Amino acid sequence: MTKFKNAKTAEELAKVKDQNIDFSDIPELDDSFWENAEIVEPDNSVQITIRLKQSVVEYFKNQGSKGYQTRINKVLESYVRSQRDGE
């Protein structure tokens, strides 16, 4: 992270008027940006402890140890959505 000589606190930044903000180094968001934009849902995850069969954990870890919990969550979320669609 770059440190600035005249760093401002959050309170000082809140007092800066919009017309005094220099936006010249921020690119315009053209149509191509919006064509490739993706909706990102907020992460409303809850940390819990859950017991899973070792074979299940190994299966997901074998697909890449990084992100295996996220993949398990996506499978569970998909299941929940399919069940709700049937209601």
pLDDT in tens, the chain (87 residues): 556 677 889 999 999 999 988 888 888 888 988 898 888 888 788 999 999 999 999 999 999 889 999 999 999 999 999 998 777
Burial profile 40-79: b = 16 or more Cβ within 10 angstroms, e = fewer = eeeeeeeeeeeeeeeeeeeebeeeeeeebeeebeeeeeee
Return the pLDDT at 65: 83
Please give the model's pTM, rounded to 2 decimal places: 0.51
Return the pLDDT at 4: 64
